[in-house]
Structure formats: C-alpha cells, structure tokens
Structure 1
C-alpha cells in the first residue's frame, strides 16, 4: 500500500476510533474505571513508541545526534508552552485545572453558552492537526514506525477525548452536538497528515527533526500529565495494575515493531 494511503487510513482511523470509543466511555457510568486503565496503557504505548521507535529511527536518519537531542529538549519546552496556552492539554474527565471553569458549570444550571467547550474544541483541533503531521512524518520514515506512532497517539487520545466529551456536555452542549464537534475536531488529524506528506515529500531532510519533535510530544504527554494522574491512586493494588498496564503498552509497541521488522 502506498505511503499516502497508509497516512490517510491511519489518520482517519486514529481520529474516528478515538472519538467513537471516547464517546462510549464518556456515556458509561463506569467510565472513570475504564479511563484509568486506558491512561496506564497509553503511558506504556507512548513511551514505547518514543524510545523504541521514533528516537532510534531519527538517530539513524541524522548525521548530528547531538543536534537531534537538542531538538528533543526544545520540543519538550515547546509543548510545555503550548499547554500553558491551552492548545496542548491532555485532561481526562473533569480532573484538570484547565477545565475548572467548565467543571463548575453543570448542564442543568446556568451555563456559559458553550464558551468553555469551544475553547476545548479549538485546542483539540490544533492538537489533532499536529498529531496528523507527526503520523505522516513517521510513515514517511518507515511504515512500521507509522503504525506504531498511530497506535500510540490513538491510545492516549481515547481518554482525552472522553474527558472533552464530558466537559462539552457540562458546558451545555447536547450529546449529538458534542459528538459532532469532536468529529470535526478529529478531522484535523487527516488534514495534518496530508499537509505533512506533501510538505515532507519535498523536504525529506526534515523527517529526522520532526521525528524528534514527535518523540518529545509523546514523552511530554506521558511524563507531565499521564503519570502524575496515576499518583491519585497510591494504594499497592492500584500501583501493581498501573505498572502491569504500562508494561503491556510498551510490550505492544515492541511486539508490533518485531512483527513488522521481520516482514520488511
């Protein structure tokens, strides 16, 4: 299958799958339990994709490893700044300071006419657009890396989209409108993927630096947001479950890499 076809398929699948499953989890009365499980798995998938695939591939493509690691550090700083601007939040359910104004407003009360919800949608649209570029970059470097990256991005998008769905409902949106807005936001992944493909088709020397930025985004999300959220459940049983799921996420990425590596 051509690289462009892979990018289109992965971008659509990532966006639609994460939004569809997120809506199901958000409307489930036991959604908190499932989202907690997904967060632990997503940590493993993101760290596995960053350290076992994206970074090694980027280092193979570059002639200056030191420059690449500098880009990685700058990428982490950039994502920190974007999160401060509410363009790169990774909040889950309503447990997030970025969502505090929206949490205080319930759909049964006087709400803010959707302003909090629209801020979330705008931030997610930008976020999904960048995810599309990162997916395209990974596929341009290697099909296996593209598949692994798409899986890792989808894994962490599901709990985030579920949280966004809840916040949209709390901002006064109906279920149908909240789902529709999330779908429109998810479409930005495809546009990002297409832009990334046509941009990198002419500028293939940019693949290694953008892979470093992709690794930075995955490391930042896993370490700055997802892992701290697990500390809310410090009991031994929960910790064992979390570590097991993180290892499962890493193992999934490793096994996919092993499988596709043997099939090249």
Structure 2
C-alpha cells in the first residue's frame, strides 16, 4: 500500500503541472508562476522546519550532532549540484520582470532542450526519493512532504514549459519534455522505497537531506526572487501567498503532532 501512495504522490506533481501548462496561455502562466513561487517558498520552508526536521530529530536511531552535520552536508551538496547545473529551478524566463536579455530562454533550454530535461529530471528524481523516505517514516509525513513538493513542482515545471516555448519549441513538444522529466520522480520514489526500507537506521538522515533540499531551494532560489522593489499591493500579495504556504505547513504540523 505504501508503494501505491508513493507512486501516486510522485506522479501527481508532474501530472498537475502538465495539465496547468496545457490549459493556460504563456502570459497567464507567467503571472501564475509569480504567485506560486511565494506560496511554494512558504510551504517548503514550513514543511522542512515544522514537519520533516522534527520527525528526524525525534528518532532514537540518530545523534543530533550527526543530523546537523547531515543538514550542512546536504545544503552544500545541493549547492554543488546547482553549480554544475544538475539541480535546476527554472522560474526565470524572458518577460518575467527580471529584464533578461534576448535569447535568454534559448540559452536556458540548451541544445535540443537537453539542459532542461537533464537538470529537471535529476531534481525530480531526488524529489521522488524524498517522498519515499517521508512515507516510510510516517504516512502523514509523506502526505505533507508530497504536498510541499507538488506545490513547488507546479511553478518549476510551468517555468520549464515557458522557457521551452519561448526558445522555439511547440507546445506539444514542451509538454512532452515536462512529462518525461516528471517520470523521473516516479522512478526515484520506487527505487527509494525498495532501497530505503532495508536501512531503517538511515531514515532520519534521509529526512534531514530532504529538509536540506527544501531549505536550499527556498533560501537560494525562491526567496531571492521575492526581493524585487515592487508596488505595495504586489508586496502585500507576496507576503499573503508566503503566509498561506506557512499556514498550510503549520496546519499539517498540528495534525502530525496530534497523531502522536
């Protein structure tokens, strides 16, 4: 039953993002991504700090100092992955208000869209392993973690779609690329389920690695995008979306602790 939950959860983000991208115009998607970036920043930060990390530190199988060392190593690991462009977060694109130069999206897509496909595929594979680890620790934690990943996956995949379309891809081909990269999450989830289940002692460390991924994406990618000088109404909207994300994570945290 757990494997079924993991497959459904890993499939959900890619499916939803493809459906959203297929049903809306690029202009509407660009505006939608701005709001979803704020929402996903709140959900990722809240989920990592209020749900996943507490679950890891409550485990009697690991020492707190070792878990903090894992958190530090995870942050550096994801930084290095992004440094070599294997852990991409494609929210930036031409026309997003950041004054990118002409042909920016073509450069982001890389030759034949390979850069987007490889980078996003690795990102999704890691997300799949994270979802598997969370479900193996606790089903409700798995649901909370999946929600956080789906919340980030939609603007991530929509950003990929916009970049590919602006780089000259047809909508059908861009959607196909999104669907292919989304399947990597399912592969990561299944492999995570098969491998992690045999190493129960390593589960707290995998949960900390999951948190390091969420924290890194939020602090290094999402929050800096919200640091633009904006009109007060737009700033209030950003704060409201961020608060909504934190509220969702906090509500799930209350449910998790109530279950214990």
Q: Given the two structures, how large is their TM-score scaled by the length of structure 1? A: 0.88
Per the alignment, do residues 22 and 261 of structure 1 end up closer, same or farther by CA in structure 2, a change over 3 Å counting? farther
Per the alignment, residue 253 of structure 2 pairs with: 257
Q: Which runs of 5+ in 2 are unaligned?
A: none
Indicate the RMSD between aligned Cα atoms, in angstroms. Answer: 2.5
Per the alignment, residue 147 of structure 1 pairs with: 143
Q: Given the alignment of the two structures, is residue 8 of structure 1 paired with residue 4 of structure 2, yes or no?
A: no
Write the distance in 2 (CA, Å) between the matches of 1:263 and 1:145: 11
Per the alignment, residue 56 of structure 1 pairs with: 54
Write the distance in 2 (CA, Å) between the matches of 1:119 and 1:63: 37
Q: Is the contact between residue 132 and residue 192 of structure 1 (CA under 8 Å) also seen in structure 2?
A: yes
Per the alignment, residue 130 of structure 2 pairs with: 134
Write the distance in 2 (CA, Å) between the matches of 1:60 and 1:78: 24
How many Å apart are 1:29 and its aligned residue? 2.3
Q: Is the contact between residue 144 and residue 252 of structure 2 (CA under 8 Å) also seen in structure 1?
A: yes
How many Å apart are 1:257 and its aligned residue? 3.5
Structure 1 range deviating more: 88-97 or 215-224? 88-97
How many Å apart are 1:205 and its aligned residue? 1.2
Q: Which runs of 5+ in 1 are unaligned?
A: 106-110
Per the alignment, residue 239 of structure 2 pairs with: 243
Per the alignment, residue 68 of structure 1 pairs with: 67
Write the distance in 1 (CA, Å) between the matches of 2:125 and 2:2: 18
- Give 3-state SS (helix, strand or coil) of 1:252's partner: helix
How many Å apart are 1:253 and its aligned residue? 1.8
How many Å apart are 1:104 and its aligned residue? 6.1
Write the distance in 2 (CA, Å) between the matches of 1:24 and 1:79: 32
Of 140, 159, 175, the residue aligned with 2:155 is 159
Per the alignment, do residues 41 and 210 of structure 1 end up closer, same or farther by CA in structure 2, a change over 3 Å counting? same
Q: Given the alignment of the two structures, is residue 122 of structure 1 paired with residue 141 of structure 2, yes or no?
A: no
- Give 3-state SS (helix, strand or coil) of 1:214's partner: helix
Per the alignment, residue 108 of structure 1 pairs with: none
Aligned length: 256
Q: Is the contact between residue 114 and residue 171 of structure 1 (CA under 8 Å) also seen in structure 2?
A: no
Write the distance in 2 (CA, Å) between the matches of 1:212 and 1:113: 31
